[in-house]
Amino acid sequence: MKTEERRCMNCMEPLFEDHTCLKCGHLVDEPQLPLALPYETLLQGRYLVGRAKKHGSQGFTYIGYDKVLKNKIAIREYFPKTLCQRDINGLDSLTNQACYDLYCDYMRQFLSYSRTIAHMRDLTAVDHIYDIFEENGTAYTVSDWDEQVSLRYFIEKSGGHLDWNAARKLFMPVLSALSALHENGIGHYGISLDSLSIMENGKMKLGDFCIEAVRREGGRLPADLVSGCAALEQYGQTETFHEATDVYGFTASLFYALTGTLPEKAIKRKEDARLLIPTGILKELPPHVVTSLANGLQVYPQKRTQTFERLRAELSASPTITAVIEETQSIPKLTEDELRKIKASEHIKEPKEKQFLPAWVWILISAVIVLVIALLILFLCNFNGGASFNQSSEEFIITSSVEADSNVSEERVFSSQTSEISEVRMVAPNLIGENYSVVKASSAQQVLDYEVISSRYVFSDQIPEGYIISQTPKAGETMIKGGTIVVEISQGPYKRVLPNVAGMSYEQAEKQLRSQGFEVSYIYQSDILESGYVIGYQEQQAGNELQYGAHVVLIVSSGS
């Protein structure tokens, strides 16, 4: 009989020595964290529990091993230690009568929240939960284990800060995922340097999803917040969280990535809302990015950028003054309405008499005026050894958001003072009907003149799963060469047909069902089939139509 392979409890690699792991150096006799599940605890008959990697207000996160799929996993256990303790057997979660109702209520929230996240499995920039269950008087989730480092550590090891191009590639896919989450009513409210991680493939992922009770100071559970990333409303017990709450945490993390420092704690910023940026770094940042940071980090939620789609628009590369002038010169004559809007945005008063100068001359004069102002600001910044902006002076130093229907905005003209003046315009291609994976791969390899990111997945009975349904900007519209095209992708039909998996191994059946969008679990039943092979479905049969994300139970043979 084959002996089961021993594994290191710290990294889950095969263990070949009796005392030390050759892979990670972990000592075999090193004890588990207090109150955590014992090493080698087996959950659901398949999930091997390893070392507890983290213990927060909500509970433990362990490295584990799935003995069925034979891969490393992350196991999250609901275990709020202020409400419960571990039984003498080392497994069960116990709580006293005074805390029982609250413990159960938070556990229901944990299960419900985890299920909603599990349904968003197509978002590559967030953790994928593939099993949720109750055991030992508490609840657990299982997700893929990713080798990763925190954003905080990554920035420290990358020279203390990133340039905008490097940060953009990391943050924009996460921004798209957050937009999709909030569109489905799911908030994170703990976005920080610790919940954002860099994977081995160089991409960033958002994890550490917790119930709202630990994202608020002053509640029944200790707050799990990172100072500088938590929004003002998270320091009160009655304020409602919105998408703008996550916008603050995301923008604060981006601010750290670009500058190497976090904003002051939100409560302190009520008195002094300034955000300090070293002059050397400020010179490297496009003005529209600085504006976006200011808007996303407004202290009061009602003044803050409200949605991730709005933040995406603000972070997108602005048209340069060169492009504006070129477009203006290519038009024989601007309409009176267009001229009026341009003058309004540049604070040029309407002359009382008929103008004789060509329209493009007025644009050029405006650009020169703005450039002079920018140089004056830059001189003052250099003189002071740094740059700061606050809510009272923000409109003077960096232009705030403008009305969406303005043809030429102050932000666009201001951005012309940076190196972006050399950017080239192009016509957006038609990506509708293309395979997203193929387009994304070409974009990542820099074969294309643009970057492609997804905003969300949409059910469609007409467009095959994985193919692009819509795009922004639309095909034929003007965009900046090297800019971003945001696409929506087909998730396939909402109703799915159960395939015939009888006779397959459980691993094969589970893989096929999960690829079609079903949640899968199993029960054992004695049968003449070889152990581990599927007999059929419990309460379902092949050919039945179920909604996407439906849970199915497979009956698996335990042998005769």
pLDDT of residue 442: 77
Sign of the CA dihedral 97, 98, 99, 105? Answer: positive
Round to whole Å and give the CA distance between 534 and 552. Answer: 13
CATH 3.30.200.20 positions along the chain are: 42-144
Q: Classify 130 in phi/psi space as left (phi over 0), alpha (psi -120 to 50) or beta.
A: alpha
Round to whole Å and give the CA distance between 29 and 197. Answer: 29
Q: What is 495-557's CATH number?
A: 3.30.10.20
pLDDT of residue 2: 45
3-class secondary-structure state, position 345: helix
Averaged pLDDT for residues 263-275:
93
Q: How confident is the model at residue 238 (pLDDT cuts 50, 70, 90)?
A: confident
pLDDT of residue 332: 43
Q: How many CA atoms, within 13 angstroms, populate the side-chain half-sphere of residue 131? A: 23
Q: Classify 474 in phi/psi space as left (phi over 0), alpha (psi -120 to 50) or beta.
A: beta
Q: What is the domain class of 425-490 according to CATH? A: alpha beta
Measure Cα distances from 556 to 209, 425, 439, 523, 535 in Å. Answer: 32, 59, 40, 6, 6
Q: How confident is the model at residue 472 (pLDDT cuts 50, 70, 90)?
A: confident
Q: How confident is the model at residue 354 (pLDDT cuts 50, 70, 90)?
A: very low
Tens-digit pLDDT profile for residues 357-400? 555 555 666 666 766 666 665 554 444 444 444 443 333 333 33
Round to whole Å and give the CA distance between 128 and 141. Answer: 10
Cβ neighbours for 391, distance < 8 A, ≥ 6 positions apart: 273, 298, 299, 303
Q: Classify 476 in phi/psi space as left (phi over 0), alpha (psi -120 to 50) or beta.
A: left
Q: What is 148-315's CATH number?
A: 1.10.510.10
Mapping DSSP onto H, E and C, the string for 244-312 reads HHHHHHHHHHHHHHHHCCCCCCHHHHCCCCCEEEEHHHHHHCCHHHHHHHHHHCCCCHHHCCCCHHHHH
Name the CATH superfamily housing domain 42-144.
Answer: Phosphorylase Kinase; domain 1 (3.30.200.20)
Overall residue count recorded for the chain in this entry: 560
| 393 exposure class (CB count in 10 Å sphere: 0-12, 13-18, 19+) | exposed
Amino acid at 440: K
CATH 3.30.10.20 positions along the chain are: 425-490, 495-557
> What share of the chain in percent tops pLDDT 90?
53
Reading the block at residue 470, the tokens are 């819509």
Averaged pLDDT for residues 142-146:
94
pLDDT greater than 70 at residue 352: no
Round to whole Å and give the CA distance between 131 and 45. Answer: 13
Round to whole Å and give the CA distance between 338 and 359. Answer: 10
Averaged pLDDT for residues 266-286:
91
pLDDT greater than 90 at residue 515: no
pLDDT greater than 60 at residue 325: no
pLDDT greater than 50 at residue 218: yes
Q: Does pTM surpass 0.75?
A: no
The whole-chain average pLDDT of the chain stands at 82
Round to whole Å and give the CA distance between 410 and 257. Answer: 26
Averaged pLDDT for residues 102-126:
92
Reading the block at residue 451, the tokens are 């970057």
* Per-residue burial over 15-34, b = 16 or more CB atoms within 10 Å of its CB, e = otherwise: beeeebbeeeebeeeeebee
pLDDT of residue 452: 82
pLDDT of residue 13: 94
CATH 1.10.510.10 positions along the chain are: 148-315
pLDDT of residue 193: 96
Q: Are 262 and 256 spatial neighbours (Cβ–Cβ below 8 Å)? A: yes
Chain centroid, CA 175 distance in Å: 5
Round to whole Å and give the CA distance between 67 and 515. Answer: 20
